Amino acid sequence: MPAGREITIVEVGPRDGLQNENGVISTHDKVELIRLLAGAGLARIEATAFVSPRWVPQMADHDAVMRQAVRRDGLRLSALVPNEKGALAAIATGAQELAVFASASETFAMKNTNCTIAESIERFVPVLALAKANGLPVRGYVSCAVDCPYEGVIAPAAVAWVSEQLARIGCTEIAVADTIGRAAPERVDAMLRAVLDIMPVERLACHFHDTSSMALANVDVALNHGIRVFDSAAGGLGGCPYAPGAAGNLATGRLARHLSSLDYQHRIDLCLLDHAEQFARKLSAHTKRSPKFV
């Protein structure tokens, strides 16, 4: 278990935070948000998703966003890709990391990606091959790692199996996600124990939504397991399509300040982050959230 106090925060606001917004957010504003977040010290930013505009209209400008996004030493820009076609497009625009999206719930997988869990993982094999050929890391998300909006409670063993399969095909990092924000700390603990039985802690990240105001308590559980990589979204953008009006992703500022209070280091300038979060909230202020998401 790592003894270090250094935490990596993966900023997912430009992708996971904005993708459910129906109102038009300009490419310029998305690029500006990325610039502000990078300026605040975020070293890993999920910039966009190379998915079909038919299903996620807000990500239709993925090519322009990735090409125009700020580049600097120490900053890694990633893109979510659903398949080989998306991976090719992302690599062509200079994505520095790819992310793929699986689920621990068969029902969620079918409704969200129109295939079984096993089929979704096999769909990622050519993505991993492309990433390897281009020297890019690949993050594998496991959604519904605690609860599913259709199936309810998800068995920890199911999360461990999906995580193992993603690692098997070459994902360098596995991010287990409390997709609908219902997770209680004791159930997060059970899930993480199952996953850590088959995977080293250095390869694991956690992605918590704050729908039930339990995200920081769940972060504490993960910290106690030695996890040092956490996702968050500027301004808490993202919401939950299954809980209208509920809080969204764990806000980056809340996470950073909580970690500081526990004497963990994250290398983020909180004043500059406040400015970035204010900008993010303004982008979302006059839009409505869509029930479609990846």
Q: Which residues are catalytic, by number? A: 240
Helix 270-284 crosses helix 27-39 at what angle (to 10 degrees)?
A: 160
Alpha-carbon gap, residue 66 to 283, rounded angstroms:
18
Instruction: State residue 99 phi and psi, 5-degree precision.
Output: -135, 135
Interior/surface letters 240-279, b for 16+ CB within 10 angstroms, e for the rest: bbbbeebbbbbbbbbbbbbbeeeeeebebeeebbeebbeb
Residue 57: name the closest of 18, 113, 88 by CA: 18
Match 């303004």 to its residue by tokens: 282
Structure tokens at 170: 């070459």
Instruction: State residue 286 phi and psi, 5-degree precision.
Output: -115, 25
Q: Which runs of E-coded beta strand occur in 108-232?
A: 138-143, 147-148, 152-153, 173-178, 204-208, 229-232
Half-sphere exposure of 147 (CA within 13 A, CB side): 18
